[in-house]
Amino acid sequence: MVGFGIDFGTTNSVVSAFNGRETRPFVDSNNLPHPSVLWYRGDKKPVVGREAKDRIKDFGNTPGNKFIRSIKSRIQQETEFEIFGKYHYTWEIAGEIFRFLKEDAKNRDTTYPTMNEAVVTIPLYFNGQQRKAIRKAAEVAGIFVKNFIHEPFAAVIGCLFSNSDSLNLLKNIKENILVFDWGGGTLDITLVKLDSGTISEISNQGYPGRSGDHFDEILMADVIDKFRQEHDIYSQGFWVDTGLESILAHDIEFAKIGLSERESESVEIADFYSFNDKGINLDSEISRKHFESLINLDIQDAMSLVDKVLDEARIQISQVGRVLLIGGTSKIPLLDRMMRDIFGTSKVQRIANADTVISEGAAIISHYYWQPYLVRPICIQLSDESYYTVFDAGTILNPKTAQKEVKFFCTDNRDGEGILILADRFDDIRCQVKYPIIKIPIAKKLRDVYTEKVITDFRIDQNLILRASAKGSIEDQPVYAEYHDICYGLRFA
Ligand SMILES: Nc1ncnc2c1ncn2[C@@H]1O[C@H](COP(=O)(O)OP(=O)(O)OP(=O)(O)O)[C@@H](O)[C@H]1O
Ligand SMILES: [Mg+2]
């Protein structure tokens, strides 16, 4: 059976297939992933991918043309998006990218079946609403989401298991692998443990924003600022034409990428601004040093997140066997240098298929029908500070296997509410309360009544979100909370 995996990225998206012997990424004719860019023209179906990205330079957002980039960063928005007077949900727009990916894969290699289902990768911070929106976007294209899997985790799977022999070879290997995935919209860092035929996430840190798109914005603001200074344009009404602005954004991204190879880059746009009826050209030279000074704090913060991941996992730098640097933004030389300084050059790996490895990992999971399980137990903190286990480690994360009703007695209802505290249990001593606390309205303490029954229900839904509800006696409706921050594990041998 051919398994399909989809990496729907902020900047680039890729589909891969795995037939049990080899992975097959469906990249474009230049061997590159497909830009997650849409070009709407009037009523016509949008153009998606490389052609759309290349045309930004020709058309920008001039009348009759609308380019949409980074729709993934806005996938949670409930409000509709206006395109030429018609309103679309963000998942409908994302759905056009899924439709394009499906058609492209089919046209590129007709020996593969049509992708009607796939494992889809998501950033670590994606909540239930974002996952639902992605599911709907895939449905637009007639793709059923078999499962979601975290992007960095899928990257490790893609890196380790693209060959069927690796299952056997790796079953007795123990290794800690740090994945550092910095893309256009998200920084995801995961510490993964390979041990006795299992592979598990031990700690995760996922941060939206302050990634490639953000660096483009910083650089663009800096270039515009310099342009105003050079030309003494201080008027309050300074305004860049939206068409030119989209072209500048495009050029800035190319310049930023170029700075990873070269010491300086230039951006030139003729007649960028009209001042006193005169067209002024924008001609800006950007040095790598200057760019690095603009993003230095972000890089420092990214490095402290690496520390946080290791601290949470209680793993020393020396215990990390290798570091996978993936995502376009991690190619920034300053970051690369810092990672090598910390972990040592030999441990830091830049894999050849870094652009496609996430989707390849998802395709492998899809092929083998691997089901993610819970790495650590999820517990409720009791009044004596001991813990009651709701779901054991190893519980398969799906609605059939992970569902439980638990009844409690609330021992302290003084304020008219009970407090339900869920914890992630690392070991017998260490529990981390990282989930939001649920406050349940219950009857106040009566004369002789010191306890009140609380009925709780816990389940993992089809999007791998832990949903908890709790109800005391006075409210008809239970109080709900959802938790997306769960570490996944897989058994491969
Ligand atoms: N050599 C480079 N140096 C610096 N930045 C780069 C380089 N190559 C690509 N980028 C930037 O990396 C980002 C794209 O990376 P990638 O394709 O990994 O993102 P993505 O997977 O689409 O995003 P995300 O995973 O955050 O949803 C863009 O912001 C791009 O400008
Ligand atoms: Mg990515």
Q: How far is the CA of 406 from the centre of ligand 1 (A)?
A: 45
Q: How far is the CA of 212 from the centre of ligand 1 (A)?
A: 6
Secondary structure E strands in 361-428: 373-374, 378-381, 387-391, 403-410, 417-420, 422-425
Residue 85: is it exposed, middle or buried by C-beta count within 10 angstroms (0-12/13-18/19+)? exposed
- The single-letter code of the amino acid at 303 is M
Q: How far is the CA of 183 from the centre of ligand 1 (A)?
A: 4
Q: Is 185 in the pocket of ligand 1 (CB under 6 A)?
A: yes
Q: Look up residue 317 and give its DSSP letter.
A: G
Determine the pLDDT at residue 411: 81
Spatial distance between the Cα atoms of 463 and 398, rounded to a whole number of angstroms: 8
What is residue 443's three-state secondary structure? coil
Determine the pLDDT at residue 448: 58
Among 219, 253, 256, 360, say which to mutate for ligand 1: greatest number of ligand atoms within 8 Å of CB: 256
Q: Is 470 in the pocket of ligand 1 (CB under 6 A)?
A: no
Look at ligand 1, atom 12, and give the residue with the nearest C-alpha. Answer: 328
Look at ligand 1, atom 1, and give the residue with the nearest C-alpha. Answer: 257
Domains and CATH numbers, the chain: 3-210+298-368 (3.30.420.40), 212-293 (3.90.640.10), 373-491 (2.60.34.10)
Q: Look up residue 396 and give its DSSP letter.
A: B
Determine the pLDDT at residue 326: 97
Look at ligand 1, atom 13, and give the residue with the nearest C-alpha. Answer: 184
Q: Is 231 in the pocket of ligand 1 (CB under 6 A)?
A: no
Q: Is 11 in the pocket of ligand 1 (CB under 6 A)?
A: yes
Q: Is 152 in the pocket of ligand 1 (CB under 6 A)?
A: no
Per-position pLDDT tens, the chain of length 493: 999 999 999 999 999 999 999 999 999 989 999 999 999 998 789 999 999 999 988 877 778 899 999 999 999 887 788 899 889 999 999 999 999 999 999 999 999 999 999 999 999 999 999 999 999 999 999 999 999 999 999 999 999 999 889 999 999 999 999 999 999 999 999 999 999 999 999 999 999 999 999 999 999 999 999 999 998 887 767 788 888 898 999 999 999 999 999 999 999 999 999 877 888 999 999 999 999 999 999 999 999 999 999 999 999 999 999 999 999 999 999 999 999 999 999 999 999 999 999 999 999 999 999 999 999 999 999 989 899 999 999 999 999 999 999 999 888 777 888 899 999 998 877 888 877 889 998 877 655 556 788 999 999 999 999 999 999 888 889 999 999 999 999 999 9
Q: Is 10 in the pocket of ligand 1 (CB under 6 A)?
A: yes
Query: Could you identify the atom of ligand 1 that is nearest to the CA of residue 358?
Result: 21
Q: How far is the CA of 224 from the centre of ligand 2 (A)?
A: 28
Cα angle 163, 309, 439; round to 5? 115
Q: Where are the alpha helices (DSSP H) in 314-411?
A: 333-343, 357-368
Spatial distance between the Cα atoms of 264 and 289, rounded to a whole number of angstroms: 8
Query: Could you identify the atom of ligand 1 that is nearest to the CA of residue 186?
Result: 26
Q: How far is the CA of 75 from the centre of ligand 2 (A)?
A: 15
Determine the pLDDT at residue 28: 92
Walk across the sheet containing 422-425 and list its strands: 387-391, 378-381, 422-425, 431-432
Cα dihedral 421, 426, 427, 428, rounded to 10, equals -10
Mark the residues whose beta carbon lies below 5 A from ion ligand 2: 9, 183
Q: Is 253 in the pocket of ligand 1 (CB under 6 A)?
A: yes
Closest ligand to Cα 9: 1
Two tokens, residue 410: 């609330």
Two tokens, residue 139: 């449905």
Q: Is 211 in the pocket of ligand 1 (CB under 6 A)?
A: yes
Q: Is 329 in the pocket of ligand 1 (CB under 6 A)?
A: yes
Distances (CA, A) of 241 to 246, 272, 274: 9, 8, 10
Spatial distance between the Cα atoms of 361 and 166, rounded to a whole number of angstroms: 13
Q: Is 257 in the pocket of ligand 1 (CB under 6 A)?
A: yes
Render the burial of 320-355: b for 16+ CB within 10 Å, e for the rest.
bebbbbbbbbbbbebbbebbeebbeeebbeeeebbb
Q: Is 456 in the pocket of ligand 1 (CB under 6 A)?
A: no
Look at ligand 1, atom 21, and give the residue with the nearest C-alpha. Answer: 9
Query: Could you identify the atom of ligand 1 that is nearest to the CA of residue 185?
Result: 26
Look at ligand 1, atom 3, and give the residue with the nearest C-alpha. Answer: 257
CB-CB contact of 138 with 341 (8 Å): no
Q: Is 208 in the pocket of ligand 1 (CB under 6 A)?
A: no
Q: How far is the CA of 77 from the centre of ligand 1 (A)?
A: 23
Q: Is 260 in the pocket of ligand 1 (CB under 6 A)?
A: yes
Determine the pLDDT at residue 345: 97
